[in-house]
């Protein structure tokens, strides 16, 4: 048995470890076995397929760059055939082959450069509206960031009728959390009273709410510029539109991704800036010079070069999505010392790739100016994934991040609560397990770091 192929009880223990803490599990496997390690299927329950952790840009290129050989696979519970659980999880990230190409073409127009620029003023207005309600004092900044991105995502994707969007967002948040519940994974029995049964019933409610909003848009399509309305009207070269099932799946994935990943990045970026006072001062100098206390205009955003480097470095060291899973779609695929057969799962880790010292010297250091020197390929730096299936909303997300950070950092000084426990939890996105306890001050420029505890020290080397 090759030493980098784990089976039996060892495999079962690694699966449990991965479910509880995927980043910790992947790092330990990398340290013990190197850049390629396979964990065999277990005799009962999930998972039933070989799982391979493949680390580094060459494996990323092989897997993410070749969708014909490696198809996408879901990280959510599948659900019974013809169930709402299956339907609502079947968006762009779950599609393969011609269907994926056709749907991606339909989705792209509202995320092209010109379309994204058209969301600028609305993003500024909504960010100011939410951030303007914050008061100095102790707050959970992770909750605050979710409020900002949820408000922006609601308006851009579903229009100004925020009540509908907030309801869907709250339902999706519950649905996502239930998908990653241990009892759901290890006891997937559809009988009343079980967590799995409640998950399936909740998925039905999510589907009903999205379909209700779709029907509302169809009854009154005139003059609407929200993404859902554009998707309802979209046609491909053969004049085909999206089916109701496709609209539900696309709405679900676009809404979830557009506020979950940006909320994660905003949270980790404010944490990193709060813990690096010298970098925060340099960023504030740029914001003062370019913006002078005002929100950024479309012409000013490209002038915020240090802010751009701060965001790039934050998404490198603490990427919002730390890994991606693909499934082999052929037999006898060579991968390093292994040969993969159909159905084998391959895990490509954005997090581990971003922490490879040969690509990013001193990778655990938060050093934005490294981006004056490094020019990684898309398979070396992939906060929005890579290859033909890279995230369609990357440009929109970056615009939301820059506008939101520019507004909040000019208004407030962020300080971590001293002694806070900063651990991670991964449910597609990587977030602080216990929230992000901070004290907000009027921005008096007296930046200072705080001593913190927890898993954050495994991922970032903090000053002092």
Give the confidence band of 307 by pLDDT, cuts at 50, 70, 90.
Answer: very high
What does the pLDDT look like over 328-352, one tens digit per residue? Answer: 999 999 999 999 999 999 999 999 9
Q: How many distinct helices (H) and strands (E) make up the chain?
A: 18, 13
> Mean pLDDT over residues 205-210, rounded?
91
pTM exceeding 0.85: yes
Q: What is the pLDDT of residue 45?
A: 53
Angle, alpha carbons 371-464-266 (nearest 5°): 50
Is residue 43 scored above 70 in pLDDT?
no
Give the confidence band of 217 by pLDDT, cuts at 50, 70, 90.
Answer: confident
Of 90, 72, 94, the C-alpha closest to 82 is 90
Q: What is the pLDDT of residue 177?
A: 80
> Mean pLDDT over residues 210-222, rounded?
84
> Mean pLDDT over residues 98-113, rounded?
91
Between 168 and 134, the more confident residue is: 134
Superfamily of domain 5-459: Cytochrome P450 (1.10.630.10)
Is residue 35 scored above 90 in pLDDT?
yes
> Mean pLDDT over residues 408-436, rounded?
96
Q: What is the pLDDT of residue 44?
A: 55
> Mean pLDDT over residues 263-278, rounded?
98
> Mean pLDDT over residues 403-411, rounded?
98
Give the confidence band of 451 by pLDDT, cuts at 50, 70, 90.
Answer: very high
- Least confident window among 199-203, 219-223, 402-406: 219-223
Indicate the average pLDDT of the chain.
Answer: 91
Give the confidence band of 61 by pLDDT, cuts at 50, 70, 90.
Answer: very high
Q: What is the pLDDT of residue 93?
A: 82
Q: What is the pLDDT of residue 86?
A: 86
Is residue 405 scored above 80 in pLDDT?
yes
> What percent of the chain stands above pLDDT 70?
96
* Torsion, Cα of 321, 327, 333, 335 (10° steps): 30
- Least confident window among 145-159, 165-179, 271-285, 299-313: 165-179
Give the confidence band of 1 by pLDDT, cuts at 50, 70, 90.
Answer: very low
> Mean pLDDT over residues 267-274, rounded?
98
Of 309, 324, 322, 323, the C-alpha closest to 401 is 309
């Amino acid at each position: 048995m090759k030493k980098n192929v784990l089976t039996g009880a060892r495999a079962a223990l690694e699966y449990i470890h991965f479910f509880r803490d995927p980043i910790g599990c992947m790092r330990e496997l990398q340290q013990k076995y190197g850049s390629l390690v396979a964990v065999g299927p277990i005799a009962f329950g999930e998972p039933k397929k070989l799982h391979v952790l493949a680390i580094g840009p060459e494996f990323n290129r092989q897997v993410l760059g070749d969708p014909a050989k490696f198809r996408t696979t879901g990280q959510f519970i599948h659900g019974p055939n013809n169930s709402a659980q299956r339907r609502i999880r079947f968006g762009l990230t779950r599609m393969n082959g011609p269907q994926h190409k056709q749907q991606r073409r339909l989705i792209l127009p509202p995320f092209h450069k010109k379309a994204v620029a058209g969301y600028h003023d609305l993003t500024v207005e909504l960010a100011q509206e939410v951030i303007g309600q914050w008061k100095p004092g102790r707050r959970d900044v992770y909750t605050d960031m979710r409020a900002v991105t949820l408000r922006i995502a609601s308006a851009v994707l579903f229009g100004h009728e925020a009540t509908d969007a907030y309801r869907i967002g709250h339902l999706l948040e519950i649905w996502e959390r239930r998908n990653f519940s241990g009892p759901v994974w290890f006891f997937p029995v559809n009988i009343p009273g079980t967590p799995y049964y409640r998950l399936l019933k909740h998925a039905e409610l999510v589907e009903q709410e999205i379909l209700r909003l779709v029907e509302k848009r169809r009854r009154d399509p005139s003059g609407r510029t929200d993404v859902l309305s554009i998707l309802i009207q979209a046609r491909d070269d053969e004049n085909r539109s999206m089916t109701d099932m496709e609209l539900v799946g696309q709405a679900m994935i676009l809404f979830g991704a557009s506020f979950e990943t940006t909320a994660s990045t905003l949270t980790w970026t404010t944490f990193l800036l709060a813990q690096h006072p010298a970098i925060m001062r340099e960023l504030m100098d740029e914001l003062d010079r370019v913006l002078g206390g005002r929100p950024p205009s479309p012409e000013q955003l490209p002038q915020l070069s240090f802010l751009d480097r701060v965001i790039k470095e934050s998404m490198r060291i603490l990427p919002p999505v730390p890994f991606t899973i693909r499934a082999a779609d052929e037999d006898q695929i060579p991968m390093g010392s292994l040969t993969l057969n159909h159905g084998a799962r391959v895990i490509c880790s954005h997090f581990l790739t971003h922490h490879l010292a040969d690509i990013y010297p001193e990778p655990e250091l938060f050093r934005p100016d490294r981006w004056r020197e490094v020019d990684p390929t898309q398979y070396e730096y992939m906060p929005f994934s890579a290859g033909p299936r890279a995230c369609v909303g990357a440009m929109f997300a970056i615009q939301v991040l820059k506008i939101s950070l520019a507004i909040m950092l000019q208004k407030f000084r962020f300080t971590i609560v001293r002694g806070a426990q900063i651990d991670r939890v991964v449910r597609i996105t990587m977030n602080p397990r216990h929230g992000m306890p901070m004290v907000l001050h009027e921005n008096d420029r007296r930046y200072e770091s705080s001593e913190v505890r927890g898993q954050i020290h495994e991922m970032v080397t903090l000053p002092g």
